[in-house]
Amino acid sequence: MAEDQKTEARKEGRWPWIWPAALLVALLLIAWFVLPLGRSGPRPSQEADARSWIELLESGAKVYQLDRGAFPPGDGSGSAVLAKCLRTQGTNKHAPLRIEKKHLDRDGNVLNPVGESKIIYYRSPGTHNPKSFDLWCEDAKGRADGINNWEK
């Protein structure tokens, strides 16, 4: 008898709103985790990625210096020369750092994760680190050297 009632309830469509409501809840959950709701500009993770790139390039430049006796040249206009040097094999037949092309702009500069058209800059010898080099890029607040290797 109870089985007949369930079957009749399904046939009558007593809960026709359940599927649209479930779909709406699912879409809201997806939007909550994917979209930067209420936040403008770069996400904090993008700034953390930029800091990681600065540290990675710093390590690569130090490996290059150990292998060749000098830091890669750089005039502060970008990071194309640094990226090229770090991708070139040294005396030990290995490149100090593997940088995929997707992380470089069309001129060969390392891209800054904080913004699409922003790059990371490199200068050797540095003005802040005269015995080594300076690495910097724009942060999420728009400061040109907001992320760098001289303020830790």
Every domain of the chain and the residues it spans: 45-148
Element at 78 (helix H, strand E): none
Band (pLDDT 50/70/90 cuts) for residue 116 is confident
Model confidence at 47: pLDDT above 80? yes
pLDDT at 149: 95
CA angle 61–48–146, rounded 5-degree value:
75
pLDDT at 51: 92
| pTM of the entire predicted model | 0.71
Query: Is the model more confident about 108 or about 14?
Result: 108
pLDDT at 5: 62
Average pLDDT, the chain: 84
Determine the residue type at 118.
Answer: K
Band (pLDDT 50/70/90 cuts) for residue 89 is confident
Report the distance separating Cα 84 and Cα 81, nearest Å: 5
CATH architecture type of domain 45-148: 2-Layer Sandwich (3.30)
Do 84 and 92 form a contact (C-beta atoms < 8 A)?
no
Q: Quote the tokens at residue 112.
A: 């800054």
Do 118 and 144 form a contact (C-beta atoms < 8 A)?
no
Strand order in the sheet with 74-75: 74-75, 121-124, 134-137, 147-148
Mean local confidence (pLDDT), 111-135:
94
Band (pLDDT 50/70/90 cuts) for residue 95 is confident
Model confidence at 2: pLDDT above 90? no
Q: Give me the phi and psi of 122, to 5 degrees please.
A: -140, 135
